[in-house]
Structure 1
Amino acid sequence: MRHRQPPAAPTAYFDDVLQSKPTIPAPGFELVAAKERGSVIGLMDVIVDGELATIDTLAVHPDHQHQGIGRALLSEALTRVTALGVPTLDAWTRDDPNTLRWYRTSGFTESEHYLHVYANHYTDAGEPDRAIGERRPGLRPMMAFLHADLREEQSMRERFARVHVCRRFVLTV
């Protein structure tokens, strides 16, 4: 039995870590913070869709956190978003206290919430069946990732081992 382990750079989204970085289509942009010798210590990807810019990825290497790198990336992103005439920058994140604190102290406000529910056979063999219900003959669900209304939080936490509150943070530019 193999379990998926969180990556070296901690993230509540360890289930969604991709093996290669997706391309951010224009007018979106990618920002990178690097040390003098070129090693990457932080990055931010922003997707722009009409009048909304969304922080798709924001990461600062653990050895370089709390040194203003995230704020510097955000400052540059705000400059670019403003130049594009986009009035709103948002981000979706989970329930990591340090991340929530960073968005709040950076001027973002929470505007929406919903649940991320993971049903995993290796956590509890019955979770995927409870999540999916009807099955097709010959198919056996092993894992499911679901969205649920925040009003269902208590019920979801009683039925599944991994439930996260997904939060939208918004900043008017």
Structure 2
Amino acid sequence: MQPAHIRPYDDADAASWLRCRLLSFFATQYYDDVVTQRPRFDGPSIQLVAAAGTEVVGILDVSIGADAATIETVAVLPEHSRSGIATRLLHAALPELEQRKLRTLDAWTREDPAANAWYRRNGFREDHRYLHVYQDWDERDAGFTAPDGLGTPVRVFAHAPIEREAQLRARFRRVHVCRRYVRRLG
């Protein structure tokens, strides 16, 4: 396996970036968070890749606000996971975030043990949680309605307060706890 080096994203990376994101998300609870083109950032951002030759094997995209930043995507190809690439990407982004005098870097994730452990190992602390609730096509008696003229919803994705977790897990097959992690900067 060729060693990966960290560098800024380039438009020539688009297809490889998509492949990396798709394959890395398959093994997580975000397996259906599929994009068909790389998201564009309207404001300031840090867009890094870990490249092994011409192949993107890791991604870190961070959107930057007035006093805080958010990790929009952090992903590593499964065959390169647990090799330190995500941490190297994070460490490559931190100097620019601190130079901008930002106070915090945050990220949102679900219940994947590896992802949660990575955030904690890298100085992030959980500060908020809520639920992602899905109603699938065969859960038709879920109580969701559609506007006049449309049929019964086939699939629904909704947010709910964490206090309703037990009730919603009893009613729906797919319920995830979504956590916000925050790392202080500076």
Counterpart of 1:47 (choices 40, 63, 69) is 63
Counterpart of 1:168 (choices 167, 171, 180) is 180
Give runs of aligned pairs for residues 18-97 of structure 1, distance below 5 A: 18-35=35-52, 37-97=53-113
Residue 8 of structure 1 aligns to a residue in which SS? Answer: helix
Residue 25 of structure 1 aligns to a residue in which SS? Answer: coil
Deviation for aligned residue 1:85 = 1.4
Is 1:121 the counterpart of 2:140? The answer is: no
* Alpha carbons of structure 1 residues 80 and 155: separation in structure 2 relative to 1, 3 Å: same
Residue 153 of structure 1 aligns to a residue in which SS? Answer: helix
Contact in 2 for aligned 1:24/1:30 (Cα 8 Å): no
Question: What is the percentage of aligned positions where both structures have the same residue?
Answer: 40
Deviation for aligned residue 1:135 = 5.1
Could you tell me which runs of 5 or more consecutive residues in structure 1 were left unpaired when the two chains were aligned: 1-6
Could you tell me which runs of 5 or more consecutive residues in structure 2 were left unpaired when the two chains were aligned: 1-21
Once the two structures are superposed, what CA deviation does each residue of 1:25-64 show, in whole Å capped at 9, x if it has no partner? 33112110001x2211101000112111000000011111
Letter in 2 for 1:14: Y
Cα distance between partner residues in 2 of 1:64 and 1:41: 7
Cα distance between partner residues in 2 of 1:26 and 1:106: 25
Deviation for aligned residue 1:151 = 0.3
Query: Taking structure 1 as the reference length, what is the TM-score of the superposition?
Result: 0.88
Q: Match for residue 148 of structure 1? A: 160
Cα distance between partner residues in 2 of 1:20 and 1:11: 20
Q: Match for residue 30 of structure 2? A: 13
Once the two structures are superposed, what CA deviation does each residue of 1:106-164 show, in whole Å capped at 9, x if it has no partner? 11000000000001114x2323xx2x247534432111110000000000001111000
Letter in 2 for 1:166: C
Cα distance between partner residues in 1 of 2:103 and 2:150: 50
Query: Taking structure 2 as the reference length, what is the TM-score of the superposition?
Result: 0.82
Residue 85 of structure 1 aligns to a residue in which SS? Answer: coil
Letter in 1 for 2:171: R
Say how many residue pairs are matched: 162
Q: Stretches of 4+ moved more than 3 A in 1?
A: none
Is 1:104 the counterpart of 2:120? The answer is: yes
Residue 89 of structure 2 aligns to a residue in which SS? Answer: helix
